[in-house]
Amino acid sequence: MTLSLQTILKQRRQRLAEKFPDKALLWSGRAPARNFPANTFPFRPSSHFLYFAGLFLENAVIELEQGKLTLFMDNPSSESILWGGEQPSRDDIATEMGADRAYPLAELSPTNEEIATIALFDSTTYQEQCHYLQRTIPQPSQATGKDLALIEAMIDLRLCHDEGAIGEIRQAAEVSIQAHQAGMEATQAGKTEAEIRAAMEAVMIAHNQTPAYGSIVTIHGNVLHNHDYSHTLQEGDLLLADVGAESKGGYASDITRTWPVSGQFSPTQQEIYDLVLAAHDACIAMVAPDVEYKDIHWQAARIITKGLVEIGILKGNVSDLLANDAHALFFPHGVGHLLGLDVHDMEDLGDVAGYAPGRQRSERFGLGNLRLDRALKPGMTVTIEPGFYQVPAILNDPQTQETYGDVINWERLQQFSDVRGIRIEDDVLVTSEGAEVLTAPLPCQRDKIEAMTLIP
Amino acid sequence: MTLSLQTILKQRRQRLAEKFPDKALLWSGRAPARNFPANTFPFRPSSHFLYFAGLFLENAVIELEQGKLTLFMDNPSSESILWGGEQPSRDDIATEMGADRAYPLAELSPTNEEIATIALFDSTTYQEQCHYLQRTIPQPSQATGKDLALIEAMIDLRLCHDEGAIGEIRQAAEVSIQAHQAGMEATQAGKTEAEIRAAMEAVMIAHNQTPAYGSIVTIHGNVLHNHDYSHTLQEGDLLLADVGAESKGGYASDITRTWPVSGQFSPTQQEIYDLVLAAHDACIAMVAPDVEYKDIHWQAARIITKGLVEIGILKGNVSDLLANDAHALFFPHGVGHLLGLDVHDMEDLGDVAGYAPGRQRSERFGLGNLRLDRALKPGMTVTIEPGFYQVPAILNDPQTQETYGDVINWERLQQFSDVRGIRIEDDVLVTSEGAEVLTAPLPCQRDKIEAMTLIP
């Protein structure tokens, strides 16, 4: 039986009350202006607000205390109804979300009462927060006192997803899978990256979903966060697509596939693809309650290092190479991150969510980019996304060449010049039994991808 | 011969110097965070900045004085190059835009010198502006002194487009036309509005363009700014699509078409469509230098009123009906607006751009929504977008029924219940000879639309 929105939200605030008994105020924020106020970007509420409010309510505030929800928002103006049509009233919305009380915004008066909140990055809303609470609210990563206690309670709640959240991630994953299938089907030499991106994002728009983050659709997979789509696909290229949808309720999916434009990997591409896939599969096989996510990261690093030694790109003993972070030359990022209402879930809080209490980011090359260092628990959803890249900014760096020059077989590496970047990424739910790959229906085996990309 | 970006930009700042000899600083702004800073909405610079800088430069400032351009921006960080790949340096960018000087942002020190600027709506950037200029910068519509003089000079420049701007609008129009064709071709009963929107926006994405504003794709055309796409198209519905692309250089196009889902208008739909089309054609025929845009608005109102009297929906003498604003019952908005770097060009400045000096918005029903009241000049680009709508918030309003109850034939109107909303909108460039419809290749005659929407 699927729980109603009211029931899901009620359970969330009751769980909050157990962890944080005091009063909290959370702001939804506003759609940012695209140069002038009447033309805005799409509205996306603050994720902390959305977790308890469930609905995309612009310019609204909720008060949470002892399991009770009070909504502050204005009824639509007559101007807004004239241009925007009939809209639910504040009372309609209060009923839909199961609020205990609902008032106009004017009922929210500046107060000296010590009420916890979480700062938004939107400056206009942030100023409102400071105004109503009559104090300078610290950025989330600097929070203290009640604000910090609220943040810690939120992390406790949001780390492990409830049924409602998992249902939303499944919806986002389903559309993302279809988007990747559309991208594979659209792939053809002579088209541009932009055309493949269009085929993929059109699937999201058609389902009334949006990209959860700026899509990466590139033949230059070595540029990790590439938002240029201008290149024309050539026969020998690999296309890397890191594209995920956001569900109507605001939950993210995050999938990467890398496929050959021609439908056929070259032998060198195949060799590296199989290595990244082996790392991907082994990491997913490790996902289970109580497993340390950092160990999964090191598993990926170990498999990639071992494989690169066997292929002859790296030289030396695998353990020594790992101890010296040599894998990060080709796998410079972490193996993944939390996934939820944000694609990097709760990254607005800094590392407080991703790193267990007492743990801190390493300064080591590669490991310093790991976004998650916690023991896994049922309900957590993480990405698993190992990769191999030839990043010029790393490989051509004199410092790199001095430190790692001897462990890289540059001639051998030269032979893999047609492998700029490969990443394979899936979304994995930790269950009490082990794990469920939410994005599993999308094949990532080489032969299946080939079958899908063959132009009919 | 097409002018280079450097030449276009140089001419613009020379023309500025003639109108505004003092120093001006313009900020580009930043991409707003989508809940956390690493995940942003796409970056769109301030249009005033873009007019002189030509490029989408995030977190940059330009100083303009006596025709000289100084660029302040930082080189990409090594972190940014690691994740984002090779990027042009400040000097590369300065060369591309033809800047006279280029410095890091740190060279921009807070100053008490009286320098003009235009406030951005992004609060973070706004605070920077106030910090550097050591004063509280007024919102553009409240500007005084040098700020106002700069704004007036900007309006003078941006009202009439140069060759570079017209070229950009043409590119946006071309892609928007293809988007509408794709929308017409995709239309089929049983599909959702979202699916048609996807077909249209995919064309923009494939061309590396973006929607210039939130697309309206709806079978409820009576909701003027409808951003819901959840309905399923039915055989008897009209689909209204108000969808326009923004060129890579940031210029907007803005097109509306209304077509029958079945490929065939009903007799009532045809009657109203032909009336709106007649108004549209007559208004476009009026566009020429020195013509008052408000007269074009009244031309639309007159044709629609006369037509509705002939059809029997309105009762009475056309002149009296117009004098009493009865046309606004069914045509409540203005006939169009300025078009340029913003879809409502320079609307960030309030009515200072849209209304000629000394003119002010009327408070009359309908006329109060007219966004442009100036004599046309060559180089201006305006939309022409008459429409007919049955807006419940207007027609069911007791005030309306009291004031206009006698001039509406409610029984006759009832027969037109399958006409919720029709709008036809094109982008028109004022030329020295008269006008050029930049969106003309997209047919709006009923028969051609029918031909296009017939499903093969």
Predicted pLDDT of residue B51: 98
Predicted pLDDT of residue A444: 59
Q: For A45, name the nearest residue in chain B, comparing CA atoms only.
A: B35
Which of A35, A50, A154, A246 is the mutation pick for testing B, counting most B CBs within 10 A? Answer: A35
Average pLDDT over residues B383-397: 96
Buried b (16+ CB within 10 A) or exposed e, A98-127: bbeebbeeeebeeeeeebbbbbbbbbbbbe
Residues of chain A contacting residue B394, judged by C-beta atoms under 8 Å apart: 82
Predicted pLDDT of residue A445: 53
Predicted pLDDT of residue B444: 58
Q: What is the pLDDT of residues B134-173, one digit of tens each?
A: 999 999 989 999 999 999 999 999 999 999 999 999 999 9
Q: How far are the Cα atoms of A209, A246, A289, A358, B42 from residue A155, in angstroms, in the given order?
A: 26, 20, 18, 15, 28
Amino acid at A4: S
Instruction: Give the mean pLDDT of chain A.
Output: 94
Predicted pLDDT of residue A454: 42
Confidence of residue B79 (pLDDT cuts 50, 70, 90): confident
Which residues between 244 and 273 in chain B have a beta carbon less than 8 angstroms from any beta carbon of chain A? none
Taking CA B283 as the corner, what is the angle to CA B278 and CA B288, rounded to the nearest 5 degrees? 150
B241: enclosing H helix or E strand: strand B238-243
Interface contact flag, B78 A393, Cβ < 8 Å: yes
Average pLDDT over residues B272-294: 97
Confidence of residue A22 (pLDDT cuts 50, 70, 90): very high
The sign of the torsion formed by the CA atoms of A66, A67, A68, A72 equals: positive
Closest CA to B239 of B215, B225, B211, B220: B220
Interface contact flag, A36 B214, Cβ < 8 Å: no
Q: For A202, name the nearest residue in chain B, comparing CA atoms only.
A: B198
Task: State both tokens at A345.
Answer: 């879930």
- Map B281-338 to HEC letters: HHHHHHCCCCCEHHHHHHHHHHHHHHHHHHHCCECCCHHHHHHCCHHHHCCCCCCCCE
Predicted pLDDT of residue A1: 60
Say whether residue A411 is in contact with chain B using an 8 A CB cutoff: no
Say whether residue B301 is in contact with chain A using an 8 A CB cutoff: no
B258: enclosing H helix or E strand: strand B255-260
Say whether residue A106 is in contact with chain B using an 8 A CB cutoff: no
Which of B118, B120, B205, B242 is the mutation pick for testing A, counting most A CBs within 10 A? Answer: B205
Which residues between 60 and 79 in chain B have a beta carbon less than 8 angstroms from any beta carbon of chain A? 78
Query: Does residue B175 have a pLDDT over 70?
Result: yes
Cβ–Cβ < 8 Å for B390, B296: no
Interface contact flag, A44 B32, Cβ < 8 Å: no
Smallest Cβ–Cβ distance between B46 and the set A35, A85, A123 belongs to A35
Give the residue, A443 or B418, on which the prediction is more confident.
Answer: B418
Query: Does residue B452 have a pLDDT over 90?
Result: no
Predicted pLDDT of residue B78: 86
Q: Give Dmax over CA atoms of chain A in angstroms.
A: 73
Whole-angstrom distance, CA of residue B92 vs CA of residue B96: 6
Whole-angstrom distance, CA of residue A152 vs CA of residue A356: 11
Say whether residue A285 is in contact with chain B using an 8 A CB cutoff: no
Predicted pLDDT of residue B410: 96
Whole-angstrom distance, CA of residue B389 vs CA of residue B220: 10
Which 8-state DSSP code applies to residue A246?
E
Q: What is the CATH number of domain B163-453?
A: 3.90.230.10
- Alpha-carbon gap: A168 to the closest alpha carbon of chain B (Å): 18
Say whether residue A224 is in contact with chain B using an 8 A CB cutoff: yes
Neighbours of B70 (CB within 10 A): 19
Query: Does residue B453 have a pLDDT over 60?
Result: no
Say whether residue B230 is in contact with chain A using an 8 A CB cutoff: yes
Cβ–Cβ < 8 Å for B297, B287: no
Smallest Cβ–Cβ distance between B122 and the set A32, A84, A343 belongs to A32
Whole-angstrom distance, CA of residue B272 vs CA of residue B421: 10
Confidence of residue B37 (pLDDT cuts 50, 70, 90): confident
Predicted pLDDT of residue B142: 92
Say whether residue A396 is in contact with chain B using an 8 A CB cutoff: no
Confidence of residue B1 (pLDDT cuts 50, 70, 90): low
Closest CA to A422 of A300, A320, A285, A322: A300
The sign of the torsion formed by the CA atoms of B335, B340, B344, B350 equals: negative
Which 8-state DSSP code applies to residue B373?
B
Beta-carbon contacts of residue A357 (< 8 Å; ≥ 6 apart): none
Neighbours of A87 (CB within 10 A): 14
Task: State both tokens at A356.
Answer: 């267990």
Match 């519905």 to its residue by tokens.
Answer: B237
Neighbours of A58 (CB within 10 A): 13
Say whether residue A81 is in contact with chain B using an 8 A CB cutoff: yes
Buried b (16+ CB within 10 A) or exposed e, A11-44: ebbeebbeebeebbbbbbbbbbbbbbebbbbeeb
Closest CA to A327 of A356, A303, A362, A348: A303
The alpha carbon of residue B303 and the mean position of all alpha carbons in its chain are separated, in whole angstroms, by 24
Give the residue, A37 or B423, on which the prediction is more confident.
Answer: B423
Predicted pLDDT of residue A79: 85
A255: enclosing H helix or E strand: strand A255-260
Average pLDDT over residues B60-81: 95
Q: Any idea which fold A5-159 has?
A: Creatine Amidinohydrolase; Chain A, domain 1 (3.40.350)
Match 């094109």 to its residue by tokens.
Answer: B426
Q: What is the pLDDT of residues A341-390, one digit of tens each?
A: 999 999 999 999 999 999 999 999 999 999 999 999 999 999 999 999 99
Interface contact flag, B342 A198, Cβ < 8 Å: no
Query: Does residue B408 have a pLDDT over 50?
Result: yes
- Alpha-carbon gap: A133 to the closest alpha carbon of chain B (Å): 19
Whole-angstrom distance, CA of residue B346 vs CA of residue A282: 56
Beta-carbon contacts of residue B39 (< 8 Å; ≥ 6 apart): A213, A214, A342, A343, A344, A347, B33
Predicted pLDDT of residue B454: 42
Which residues between 308 and 367 in chain A have a beta carbon less than 8 angstroms from any beta carbon of chain B? 332, 341-344, 347-348
Whole-angstrom distance, CA of residue B276 vs CA of residue B311: 13
In chain B, the percentage of residues whose pLDDT exceeds 70 is 97
Predicted pLDDT of residue A3: 87
Residues of chain A contacting residue B32, judged by C-beta atoms under 8 Å apart: 32, 41, 122
Q: Where are the domains of chain A?
A: 5-159, 163-453
Predicted pLDDT of residue A123: 85
Q: What is the pLDDT of residues A405-427, one digit of tens each?
A: 999 999 999 999 999 999 999 99
Interface contact flag, B201 A202, Cβ < 8 Å: yes
Interface contact flag, A220 B32, Cβ < 8 Å: no
Write the burial class of residue B80 (CB in 10 Å: 0-12 exposed, 13-18 middle, 19+ buried).
middle
Interface contact flag, A35 B195, Cβ < 8 Å: no
The sign of the torsion formed by the CA atoms of B446, B452, B455, B456 equals: positive
Say whether residue B399 is in contact with chain A using an 8 A CB cutoff: no
Average pLDDT over residues B299-306: 98
Predicted pLDDT of residue A453: 45
Cβ–Cβ < 8 Å for B219, B238: yes
Residues of chain A contacting residue B86, judged by C-beta atoms under 8 Å apart: 392-393
Neighbours of B154 (CB within 10 A): 26
Q: What is the pLDDT of residues B209-251, one digit of tens each?
A: 999 999 999 999 998 888 899 999 999 999 999 999 999 999 9
Q: What is the pLDDT of residues A266-324, one digit of tens each?
A: 999 999 999 999 999 999 999 999 999 999 999 999 999 999 999 999 999 999 999 99
Interface contact flag, A83 B224, Cβ < 8 Å: yes
Judged by DSSP in three states, B84 sits in helix
Kindly report each contact of residues A350-359 with a partner whose C-beta sits within 8 Å and lies 24 or more positions away, as own/partner: A350/A140, A350/A141, A351/A141, A352/A140, A352/A141, A352/A151, A352/A152, A352/A155, A353/A155, A353/A158, A353/A159
Beta-carbon contacts of residue A264 (< 8 Å; ≥ 6 apart): A450
The sign of the torsion formed by the CA atoms of B29, B126, A138, B41 equals: negative
Interface contact flag, A127 B122, Cβ < 8 Å: no
Give the residue, B427 or B448, on which the prediction is more confident.
Answer: B427
ipTM of the complex: 0.95
